[in-house]
Structure 1
Amino acid sequence: MTQTGIPFHFLRGGTSRGPYFRREDLPEDRETLAEVLIAALGSGHPLNIDGIGGGVAVTTKVAMLSASQDDWADVDYFFAQVSVEDRLVDFKPTCGNILSGVGPAAIEMGLVAPQGDETDVKIRAVNTGARVVARVQTPDGALTYAGDAAIAGVPGTAAPIALNFMGVVGSSTGAFLPTGNLRDEINGIEVTCMDVAMPIVIARAADFGLTGQESAADLDANADFFARVEAIRIEAGARMGMGDVTKSVTPKFAILAPAGQGGTIAARYFMPWTTHPSMAVTGSQCLASCALTPGTVADGLLQRPDAQPANVVLEHPSGTIEVLVDYDRTDGFELKSAGLLRTARKLAEGRVFVPSGIWKG
């Protein structure tokens, strides 16, 4: 055999999609694992023509699942971001949109048994240590993808998947504010460096001469903006204790602006070298936390809600995403949990093939 077949499920999770594997079906060592994922997704070509990637960062993501060794969790979720063209795999971040498909995939794989009309799947994010409860629809004990829930960036409707994130503060750096400051100035731009579910460098759109209402395509065409952003991101990564982030997708970058369509605040999120077509689930938690924290770059861009928990509506290029934030502002800002509604759908299952010269299985 010149190729190795690897069992997989192919799901859309939130506004991303990719293969979901059982961890035991993949090589254990990271170097070989990376080569297998590069081959499976087709990294190294803008169209991923020799793999099952979709040619953009939101379609070159991978979930690897296993029965959890954690006493609290049912499933361990190990995430990998495969680059579209650079033949790189980043195992540092996690992805909340792909996480949306972990509950259904775990049931499909037999890692979790349905329990009644709704099944709570307790997930440990291996990359960050975050704990997430996914409530999956299983009417009469059978998994369903059909439903009336709609999310921006995905056509039609599907069964709702409620996600409740816990233990996400400082998930990558160990600190809510990794630099120790509510604001830092880098290359003449004020930023807030925050780590909630995802470490992000956050700035005001106006400081770049932008409105914050630009489309993803318009931003992607602005090469000067991305050059400025990357220089700031690299310096911020060093100040956040993340080392040389030149080849890492974290920290991400985001810009904020006043809402324009009735939401709480407008946001544009970068992955980091292209604009996210909608909004990352992990990123939304960090941006909502920034919006609610006095003293950050969000000051003056919104009327902060007094309600606890607060429903923060982030406007993004494809619409809006709502984050229900349970927090305490007695002493600054303390996040308790963040909840979001997502959907997922199984698109295919079978085996994906990689050259046996890379891995014999």
Structure 2
Amino acid sequence: MSIQSHFPRKRIPTVLMRGGTSRGPFILERDLPADPANRDRVLIEMMGSPDPLQVNGIGGGDPLTSKVAIISPSERPDIDVEYLFAQVGVTQAVVDTNPNCGNMLSAVGPFAIEAGLVQPGESETTVRIFNRNTAKSIHAVVQTPGGAVTYDGVAEIDGVAGSAAPIKLTFLDATGSKTSGLFPTGERRETIDGIEVSLVDYAMPMMLVRAADFGLAGNETPDELDARRDLFGRLEIMRREAGRRMGLGDVSNAVVPKIGILSEPRRTDGTITSRYLVPHRTHKAHAVTGALCVAVAARTPGTIAFDLAAADDVDGTGTVLVEHPSGKIDIELETAEDGTVRRASLIRTARRIFEGNVILSDSVAELAAAH
């Protein structure tokens, strides 16, 4: 008897994909254990955690490359596929499925089409995605010339070398992704530990602070910020209180809310500068969901972000340019007459890197086989 027949799920079919500025395995839900605890044990071994290098798995030793996308067909009306995002700890054997990841989301559409879950169009294909982490819907427009996904194109995003086919993501109902609303405490600014903050939830719950309040210029590199463990220590105390106020409970072992350290724009066409903490390290670029949250806050009077943002929407398109360590992200906001955000869109890219099977150890494979 072969090993694979004795352990039906010793080999997990996997496609490694880059989505935006992140990377990780894309897996069909049917190929993982149904029990969440067993599923998480499989994901932890797949990625090689806990280990700073993740040398015993396919993780990249960084939170941006220790992510998993779990995809399944959907029976919901007006939805094609469902996407569950899992953030796997690098140095801790933990899996967090609370937040969404907008960068990994960029590759969900292409993966779903090539997995046969969505019928492609002759020119482009709109994939209607339900994100289980936040119970929100997103439309992804994927380039499919001749009825096949193409990854080649001229679209460029900061933080990724080269160019690729554009993938337009439109978030339809991102207000209150994990909490009761855009401002879950009912306040647009408040004080935590003597520092003014804005607690905002659009696509991602965030605690927004001014860089100047911590003696920062706001354009520090990720390495410069990561060296300031005193800063992270103080921010973590504040973040835990922010989580409590936002109705998220004890967030000491959770990655939400995230932290945005904000300052004025540096570019002539910029709106605001952000350093995004994930939350115990600084993002090398910026999370998509975090950029959406910062953009909405920058256009909402009364917030910390509004005070720092460039005041004018110079081209009248509703575009907000969020500057980050690797460049910028352009967010297009569609607002109602009362100023509320109807939808938010941006362009990302993706790449299918390799496909095959991740081989599990015998003990973990038995869990996978049990489903």
TM-score above 0.5, yes or no: yes
TM-score by length of 2: 0.95
Q: Is 2:229 the counterpart of 1:223?
A: yes
Q: Give runs of aligned pairs for residues 92-171 of structure 1, distance below 5 A.
A: 92-171=98-177
Q: Give runs of aligned pairs for residues 28-47 of structure 1, distance below 5 A.
A: 28-47=34-53
**Alignment root-mean-square deviation, CA:** 1.2
Contact 1:118/1:135 (CA < 8 Å) preserved in 2? Answer: yes
Separation (CA, whole Å) in 1 of partners of 2:52 and 2:65: 12
Separation (CA, whole Å) in 2 of partners of 1:328 and 1:133: 19
C-alpha displacement at 1:303, in angstroms? 2.8
Pair 1:70–1:81, CA change in 2 (3 A): same
SS in 2 for 1:64: strand
Match of 1:288 in 2: 295
C-alpha displacement at 1:328, in angstroms? 3.0
C-alpha displacement at 1:309, in angstroms? 4.6
Match of 1:318 in 2: 326
Q: Give runs of aligned pairs for residues 18-33 of structure 1, distance below 5 A.
A: 18-33=24-39
For residues 212-234 of structure 1, give each alpha carbon's deviation from its aligned partner in whole angstroms, at most 9, with x where no partner exists.
10001111111111011100000
Match of 2:248 in 1: 242
Separation (CA, whole Å) in 2 of partners of 1:298 and 1:158: 32
Separation (CA, whole Å) in 2 of partners of 1:207 and 1:174: 28
Match of 2:212 in 1: 206
C-alpha displacement at 1:325, in angstroms? 0.7
Separation (CA, whole Å) in 1 of partners of 2:129 and 2:199: 27
Match of 1:271 in 2: 278
Q: Identify which of 290, 304, 314 aligns with 2:311.
A: 304
Separation (CA, whole Å) in 1 of partners of 2:176 and 2:337: 17
Which moves more between the two structures, 302-311 or 100-109?
302-311
Match of 2:75 in 1: 69
Match of 1:186 in 2: 192
Match of 2:17 in 1: 11
Aligned-partner residue type, residue 210 of structure 1 = L
SS in 1 for 2:127: strand
C-alpha displacement at 1:356, in angstroms? 2.5
For residues 135-184 of structure 1, give each alpha carbon's deviation from its aligned partner in whole angstroms, at most 9, with x where no partner exists.
00111111111000000000000010011111110010121101111011
Match of 2:202 in 1: 196
For residues 19-78 of structure 1, give each alpha carbon's deviation from its aligned partner in whole angstroms, at most 9, with x where no partner exists.
000001000111001100000001110000110000000100000101112111100001
Contact 1:308/1:327 (CA < 8 Å) preserved in 2? Answer: no
C-alpha displacement at 1:302, in angstroms? 2.2
TM-score by length of 1: 0.97
Q: Is 2:171 the counterpart of 1:172?
A: no
Percent identity, aligned pairs only, is: 47
Separation (CA, whole Å) in 2 of partners of 1:268 and 1:69: 38
Which moves more between the two structures, 231-240 or 299-308?
299-308
C-alpha displacement at 1:308, in angstroms? 6.0
Separation (CA, whole Å) in 2 of partners of 1:69 and 1:47: 39
SS in 1 for 2:360: strand
C-alpha displacement at 1:287, in angstroms? 0.4
SS in 2 for 1:358: helix
C-alpha displacement at 1:329, in angstroms? 5.8
Separation (CA, whole Å) in 1 of partners of 2:75 and 2:66: 27
Unpaired stretches in structure 2, ≥5 consecutive residues: none
SS in 1 for 2:113: helix
SS in 2 for 1:217: helix
Q: Is 2:351 the counterpart of 1:341?
A: no
Separation (CA, whole Å) in 1 of partners of 2:224 and 2:230: 12
Contact 2:265/2:310 (CA < 8 Å) preserved in 1? Answer: no
Contact 1:308/1:326 (CA < 8 Å) preserved in 2? Answer: no
Separation (CA, whole Å) in 2 of partners of 1:300 and 1:23: 44
Aligned-partner residue type, residue 263 of structure 2 = A
Separation (CA, whole Å) in 1 of partners of 2:147 and 2:274: 39
SS in 2 for 1:171: coil
Contact 2:79/2:129 (CA < 8 Å) preserved in 1? Answer: yes
C-alpha displacement at 1:305, in angstroms? 3.1
